[in-house]
Amino acid sequence: MDGIHVALMLALTFSTGALDPAGYLGLDRVFTGNMTGNVGDPWHGLAGADNLPILGPIVAPIAFVAGAALAGRLSRHGRAGWSGTTIVLLSTVVLLLLH
């Protein structure tokens, strides 16, 4: 039975690892690697595994997508590269993280 668990965990690790570069390339170079753990954690928490948190891992991907969509919309019409909009967006994120 342990061999099956190891094989399944390796398959899960490989599949989530393979999705990271696909997400990076397919989502206009938005790195999604930090979100892959948040996809599985709520399910483990709901199953009662080691008292894992449930709410945080559910909110994190939703906030990630909302933030990426908002930043994309706000910077869509600006010039390419580093701009005043980029500074405002990054400063807002820093302030939110420090709060």
Instruction: List, for residues 28-64, the tens digit of each pLDDT value.
Output: 656 555 555 666 667 777 777 777 777 877 787 788 7
Instruction: List, for residues 60-82, the tens digit of each pLDDT value.
Output: 778 878 888 888 888 777 777 77
CB atoms within 10 A of CB 45: 18
Angle in degrees, 0-180, between the axes of helices 84-98 and 55-75, rounded to the nearest 10: 160
Enter the DSSP assignment of 34.
G
| Nearest CA among 41, 69, 67 for reference residue 55 | 41
pLDDT at 95: 92
What domain count does the chain have?
1
Where does the pLDDT of residue 12 fall: very low under 50, low under 70, confident under 90, or very high at 90 and above?
A: confident
pTM confidence score: 0.51
Cα separation, 88 vs 99, whole angstroms: 16
Cα separation, 19 vs 34, whole angstroms: 12
The encoded tokens of residue 44 equal 């483990």
Q: Which domain holds residue 81?
A: 2-98
